[in-house]
Structure formats: C-alpha cells, structure tokens
Chain A
Amino acid sequence: MAITNCITYDVYYWEQNCTDWWSVTYVDGAEVSRTYSRTTCGSQYMVYGGSYTECLTTGTTSGTYGGGGGGGTTTPQQSQTPTADKIIATNKNLTGDQMKLFENSLKQFINENCGSKAVYNALINNGFKVNIEMKGTLENSAAYNPVSGTLYFKNNDALQSSYALREELAHAFQDNFYPGGTDRFAQINGINSAGYSQIEFEAKVIVDLGATGCCSMFSDNTVLRQQYLNWIIQVKENGFVINDNVYKDLLIKFNNNHAEYSSPLLDELFSHPALNSIKSSFCNLIN
C-alpha cells in the first residue's frame, strides 16, 4: 500500500510601497512636459502569502495501520497518527484531536534537525514505547515518569511544543538506554535521588547539542550561561568530541546553581554514557 506524507509550508514575501516623483509643466492648464525626478520607498514589510502543501508518496508497505485483522475482507484504515503510533504503548486519555496535535509536534520535532531525529530513531529502533497522558495538575508543561514509563502533558499548548517534547523524549531515551531504566535516579515524593541532577543535565545537553536553539539552563547567571553556550558551540565545532573534565565541571555548576535539580552525584554517570551512545548521529547542518 502506498503511503503519502504531506507537509504544509507557509509562504512569506516582502512588500514595499514606493512613490515615483515627476516634474510636470502645465501651460494654460495643459500638460506640456513631464520629467521623471526620483523614486522614494518606505520600509520593507513582510506579508503572509498563504500556504502550499507538498505530498510525497513512498513505495508500498505490508501490514496494517489501526487494527483490522481477522476477516480478510476489511480494508485496513490508515492511521491518522503514524509517527506517534511508533512510540506510544498506551494512550491513557488523549482525544483524537489531541493525538493529532501530538503527531504534528512530533513531526515538527523530527524534522527540526538530525539531533532530534536521532533521539526518535533510537527509540523506535529499540522498539521502546511510552504511555501518554494529559495531566492538568502537572507543575511543568510536560514530564516523563520513568517509573510508569509515561509521557505527561499539562495542556494542549504543551502538546504543541516541540521543545517540551525534546527534553521529555531525551528522558525516555535515557530510560531505554540505562540497564534497568532511570527510575532509580528519579525524584520521589519531592526528594531527588542520587544521580537525578546528572540525568537532568545529560538530557539537557542532548537537547542543546542536537537543537537549533539553546539553552534553558543557567538563565539567571549570565557568566555561566555564556560559558555553557561557548562549550556547546565548541563541542559542535569539534565533531561532538566531549572532554569529560569540562562536562563534569559544568555538571557540578549545574548541580550547585539549580536547587530544583540538585542531588548527590554518582561516579557511574560522570561519563555521560547515554549521550555518548547517540552523539555520533548529531550534526551541525553546515552545507
């Protein structure tokens, strides 16, 4: 069966209002000569020019989407959320519309760059799936609970945020990567287990090294933020080679400066194994 994927692009263009000035000579009310003088233009401004959709049809696939099975006479229905289906084990309470929002965010996230694509691919290649649930009482916009393997979203805005997805999918990736999962490093009843800040820091570094924008940490400390950004750029420019001493130094600063993430540190996590396993798939997108 042929699969058609469609992407909608918005189109913008510039407009500028210009005035041509002419010197016109009249004799007895009749124009006798006209000479072009100059053209003056206002500032350019951007205009939304509508959108267009490009569809790509790819080969044929076997198997079915969306159930079916049994009779052999039923035409299999194509899923509305094929990208999301690959990483979702159980949809706890999302409506059809919310699933479509999630599908769109996920597509946006995957298409953003090769870092985000690498995280998604690592999950589906390992057959790792998460549960998904809307939870209005969530403190942050999104969260991943390694104990239940559930990806939570606070509201529809969070569902539409590819940034929220980035970090939480990085946590899902870590949960799949570390033997036995990451629940032993989790926050339990408000207490951060040993290694909690290392898991948080590693996930943020995965996001920042793989993304086009940077960085949510050290926002309240200009000097540390600049240091961290300098390091991110240096790692990107240096083929994603990470100096463990620098990583440890920044991790300790993160642990000391972000009370909400602070925890005892574990030796086994200083070498950032989950990050090491995926960084070869990152790229700079330099043409």
Chain B
Amino acid sequence: MKSRTIFFVTLISMCINIYAQDISEGFKIEQRMNQYSNKEILMITDAVFPVKYDLPKDLNGKSIEMNVDLPFSKVSWIADSVFNREEISKLKENRCVIELIISSAGIIKSVSYIYYNPKEEINLKKLREFAKILKQDVKANSASFKDVQMPGYFPYSIILYSIIPYDKKYNTMKK
C-alpha cells in the first residue's frame, strides 16, 4: 500500500515537469508567477533563438540603449488579418504581450508571447504564423542604429492587447 502511494505522487510530479517544459510549434511553454500581481503568467517562448545574445555596442564598446519606433498600426492590422474575431478577443482577454528580439539593423529575429491573464486556449499554429509575418513584414526604426559599431540584438515588448482589434483612429500608419 505504501509503495502504491509513492508511485502516484511521482507520476503527478512528472506530469507537472512535462507541462512546464513543453515544446510545441517551436515554442517553449512555461508557467511562471508575476510577483507583483501574484498571478500566474504563461510564457510562450521562441525555442529556437539563443537565450543569451550580445547587445549592440558603440565606438567605445559601450552597450547602446535602443529606443525604437515600431509601426504598431501595422502590427495590429496583421493581427486582425491572422486571427479571427474570436481569437482576437481571446488574445485580449489573455492580456497578450509580444516579446521581440530585434537586430541592430531593425530586423525582428525572434517572437515570443506572454499571457498575463492566461484563460483561453492557445492556437500555437496561429501564433507561429503571426510570428512569421511579423518577422517578414515589420521593421523597427531607431535613430540609434547609426551609432552601432558592433552589431547585436536587443529586446522589445509590444502590449498587443492594447492595440487590437485594429482601429485606424488610433493607428495612423507611419510611412
């Protein structure tokens, strides 16, 4: 009787570990805690791009603080094109934030997602498709790019839930 109980506990523990390290559609899926809200968040992380990368540096070898401009209207518009109305409202409900890694040439190299209120089912295929189009069609601009002497990468987040669904009133597309 005692050994059966131990086996059951071990099985539960294994299931939790598998969920925490799940890799699907090129994403690593992890649950974490937001220490400020005491709520669980869901990290859907690009499993391909390296975890460690070098920041762009200036002539003196100093890391450059990258202040970038992104065409949020275009991001919002692409989201409306990839996801249907129901999925858009799920992304909003889940408080989806996009985590980008951008090269010092302004190219989006990696796309991950964080759900700050994970409630609704995730369509990983659609998230992958969205990531693919963002990488292809969206470019970051920065006045700091000209100061880069040693190329590198830097992180940037888009509060996606605040810009969907697409509304031209808030989203004047910048040429």
**Contact residues of A with B, CB < 8 Å?**
7-10, 12, 14, 44, 46, 51, 107-108, 111-113, 140-142, 154-155, 157-158, 160-164, 167, 212-217, 219-220, 222, 225, 227, 229-231, 233-234, 236-238, 243, 246, 284-287
- Can you give 12 A-B contacts (C-beta < 8 A)? A141-B147, A155-B146, A214-B159, A219-B63, A219-B66, A230-B41, A233-B34, A234-B34, A237-B37, A237-B117, A284-B162, A286-B161
Task: Determine if B172 and A233 form an interchain contact, defined as CB atoms under 8 angstroms apart.
Answer: no
Q: How far is the CB of A133 from chain B (nearest CB, A)?
A: 16
**Bound-complex Cα distance A239 to B63 (A):** 34
Task: Determine if B158 and A212 form an interchain contact, defined as CB atoms under 8 angstroms apart.
Answer: yes
Near A by CB (< 8 A), chain B positions 114-150 give: 114, 116-117, 133, 137, 141-147
B2 interface residue per 8 A CB criterion: no
Q: How far is the CB of A218 from chain B (nearest CB, A)?
A: 9
B residues in contact with A161, CB < 8 Å: 67, 69, 141-143
Q: How far is the CB of B143 from chain A (nearest CB, A)?
A: 4
7 pairs of A and B residues whose beta carbons are closest in the complex: A141-B143, A10-B173, A158-B143, A234-B36, A157-B143, A163-B67, A234-B37
**Bound-complex Cα distance A129 to B92 (A):** 38
B156 interface residue per 8 A CB criterion: yes
Task: Determine if B67 and A215 form an interchain contact, defined as CB atoms under 8 angstroms apart.
Answer: no
A residues in contact with B83, CB < 8 Å: none
Number of A-B contacts (CB under 8 A): 127
Knowing A9-B173, A286-B161 are in contact, say whether A219-B154 is a contact too (CB < 8 A): yes
Near A by CB (< 8 A), chain B positions 3-29 give: none
B111 interface residue per 8 A CB criterion: no
Q: How far is the CB of A226 from chain B (nearest CB, A)?
A: 9
**Bound-complex Cα distance A238 to B77 (A):** 27
Q: How far is the CB of A137 from chain B (nearest CB, A)?
A: 13
User: Known contacts A9-B172, A155-B143, A233-B97; can you find 18 more A-B pairs with CB under 8 A?
Assistant: A8-B172, A12-B74, A51-B173, A108-B172, A111-B172, A141-B144, A142-B143, A161-B143, A162-B69, A164-B67, A213-B157, A219-B55, A219-B63, A219-B66, A229-B114, A230-B34, A230-B35, A230-B36
Quick one: which of A112, A219, A243 contacts B155, CB cutoff 8 A? A219
B95 interface residue per 8 A CB criterion: yes
Q: How far is the CB of B171 from chain A (nearest CB, A)?
A: 8
B72 interface residue per 8 A CB criterion: yes
Task: Determine if B69 and A163 form an interchain contact, defined as CB atoms under 8 angstroms apart.
Answer: yes
Q: How far is the CB of B126 from chain A (nearest CB, A)?
A: 13
Task: Determine if B69 and A111 form an interchain contact, defined as CB atoms under 8 angstroms apart.
Answer: no
**Bound-complex Cα distance A217 to B155 (A):** 10
Task: Determine if B66 and A216 form an interchain contact, defined as CB atoms under 8 angstroms apart.
Answer: yes
A residues in contact with B37, CB < 8 Å: 230, 233-234, 237-238
Residue from the set B92, B145, B175 with the largest chain A CB neighbour count within 10 Å = B175
Q: How many residues of B contact A (CB 8 A)?
A: 51
Task: Determine if B172 and A7 form an interchain contact, defined as CB atoms under 8 angstroms apart.
Answer: yes
Task: Determine if B72 and A213 form an interchain contact, defined as CB atoms under 8 angstroms apart.
Answer: yes
Residue from the set A142, A213, A229, A234 with the largest chain B CB neighbour count within 10 Å = A213
**Bound-complex Cα distance A286 to B167 (A):** 12
**Bound-complex Cα distance A222 to B146 (A):** 25
A residues in contact with B117, CB < 8 Å: 237
Q: How far is the CB of B2 from chain A (nearest CB, A)?
A: 41
Quick one: which of B63, B133, B143 contacts A164, CB cutoff 8 A? B143
**Bound-complex Cα distance A167 to B158 (A):** 17
Task: Determine if B77 and A220 form an interchain contact, defined as CB atoms under 8 angstroms apart.
Answer: no
Knowing A7-B172, A10-B173, A237-B37 are in contact, say whether A213-B97 is a contact too (CB < 8 A): no
Knowing A9-B173, A158-B143, A286-B92 are in contact, say whether A229-B97 is a contact too (CB < 8 A): yes
B163 interface residue per 8 A CB criterion: yes
**Bound-complex Cα distance A229 to B170 (A):** 23
B47 interface residue per 8 A CB criterion: no
**Bound-complex Cα distance A3 to B146 (A):** 38
Q: How far is the CB of B61 from chain A (nearest CB, A)?
A: 13
**Bound-complex Cα distance A111 to B54 (A):** 34
B164 — nearest CB in chain A belongs to which residue?
A287
Residue from the set A217, A229, A246, A284 with the largest chain B CB neighbour count within 10 Å = A229
Q: How far is the CB of A114 from chain B (nearest CB, A)?
A: 10
